Amino acid sequence: MCRLFGMSTGGPRVRAAHWLLDAPSSLRAQSHRMPHGAGLGWFSLGGEPVRDRAPLAAFENADFDLHARNVPSHTFVSHVRDASVGGLTVHNCHPFVMNDRLFAHNGVVKGLDTLRAWLTDVERAPVAGETDSELVFAYVTAEIRRRGDTTAGIVEAVRRIGAELPVFAVNLLIAEAGRLWALRYPESNELWVLSPDKGGASGPGDAAGADGPVPAVVIASEPMDDQPGWRLLEPGELLVVDGLTETSLFPFEPPRHRLRRSDLSAREAASQQAAAAEQLVVEHAESVKAAALRAATAGAGPAATAGVVPLRGPFAPAILRTAQPKAVRGPSV
């Protein structure tokens, strides 16, 4: 599936090179599995959203590397694409920009003709690509305008999508200057958060003039390093990050027209199971190595096994449940 990344420092302007380029599971590293496009969004000194995107894999995109290493911001949204809908064009690459907000998404939403019908001609006008993601953003943007509040607009839009459209997943990131919203809906695709008190911070050397890394809320589709503080968002959890303050909301019912993998096209299904397939490959490779090691050392004495380092399986981060952000619960999936 596509991969999402978001970060908020609550004010200090930093670079995002560590998470985007240098971390063990950086977005650039992930792009070897999601090669159909990459983009990075940030906010200028005046608070305007800026983004650079291209239908190239992040690992072969010099501009992605350049901006990751040099652009300072307090809020970032980035995305690497594994295409399920739409051609490999710049207009289908995330993040999208509407009404001073950045948006990125992974998942599949069907019933796009119905979704278009919910929008006026003016609300459809910013949509330049072919993806379900951009139409979802246009509808979320319309509901935010109608309600005059970003959180209320997101809740209303996702509630209606979940009630009336066929949904596999609506995992999304929305950013305003200094504020970030992250949604995992329902449980089909993962979304993780690393809070400042659990190790969330800018990377070494990413904060100009600072003594060390700057505390930050980091959000990603998969843990990007081996810190144990990564927490998997609950299904249906909307995490609101205002500066460094995190609030979890649970306002959604399960999708009424839930799509299974068998309901997806071959292209859609392939784009949504890349992580699972890769995990199976890793587990198989590790089992082969372990079997070879057992065969090589079977019946051997201590001298034969001296210096042999036991193999470790794929990293499985601990999910800490004891210090979650303040939660306001309604119906939960």
Q: Which of 194, 198, 200, 204 is nearest to 22 (CA)?
A: 204
Write the pLDDT tens digit of every residue in 224-260. Answer: 999 999 999 999 999 999 999 999 999 999 999 999 8
How many residues are recorded in the chain? 333
- pLDDT, residue 276, reads 41
| Distance between CA atoms of residues 258 and 185, nearest Å | 11
Torsion of CA 218, 221, 224, 228, to 10 degrees: 80
- pLDDT, residue 74, reads 97
Tokens of 64: 């992605």
Q: Counting beta carbons within 10 angstroms of the beta carbon of residue 247, is it exposed (0 to 12), middle (13 to 18) or buried (19 or more)? A: middle
For residue 18, the 8-state DSSP code is I
Confidence band of 31 (pLDDT split at 50, 70, 90): very high
- Say if residues 5 and 19 touch (Cβ distance below 8 Å): yes
For residue 301, the 8-state DSSP code is -
- pLDDT, residue 208, reads 74
Whether the predicted pLDDT of 329 surpasses 80: no
Which residues partner with 220 through β-bridges? 5, 192
Q: Mean pLDDT across the stretch 36-58?
A: 96
Confidence band of 194 (pLDDT split at 50, 70, 90): very high
- pLDDT, residue 94, reads 95
Which residues partner with 181 through β-bridges? 174, 240
Q: Which of 31, 247, 268, 238 is nearest to 40 (CA)?
A: 31
